[in-house]
Copies of this chain bind each other. A is one copy, B any other.
Amino acid sequence: VIDKFVEISLLYDFYGKMLTEKQQDIIDLYYMKDLSLGEISDLLKISRQAVHDNLRRAEKQLRQMEKKLGLVERFLKEKDKWSIVLGRIDRIIETLQPKENTSGAVKELEDIKDFISAILGG
């Protein structure tokens, strides 16, 4: 179970462009910029209730997209695979480090680790 903010942020990253511009604005202000419903209501000059309804509708649509396409899940599985490779490379480095004449290979493996860490972080 992941946090709702993380969940909606991920879904929005993948499917946000399928929402109306107003829905995109509201999701962005609420989930990314961390504004309250009242603040968004003031900013966009629409009622607090309208902000609330738009938000719920947008969240529902994002979840429906994921239920249909499952592309966030596919992406998370891909990340798991990167983590697996990262862990395995770590263990290889450990076995190589005490040996002679392997510093070049170890350095290369450390570089690959940085490359994968950047993918996992981004």
Contacts and interface: CB of A to CB of B under 8 A. Distances in A.
A91 B91 CA distance: 18
A17 B119 contact: no
The number of times this chain is found in the oligomer is 2
| A interface, size bucket | 20 to 34
B115 A92 contact: no
A44 interface: no
A108 interface: yes
Contacts of A75: 74
A15 B69 contact: yes
A6 interface: no
A115 B15 contact: no
A113 to B, nearest CB: 10
Contacts of A117: none
A17 B74 CA distance: 15
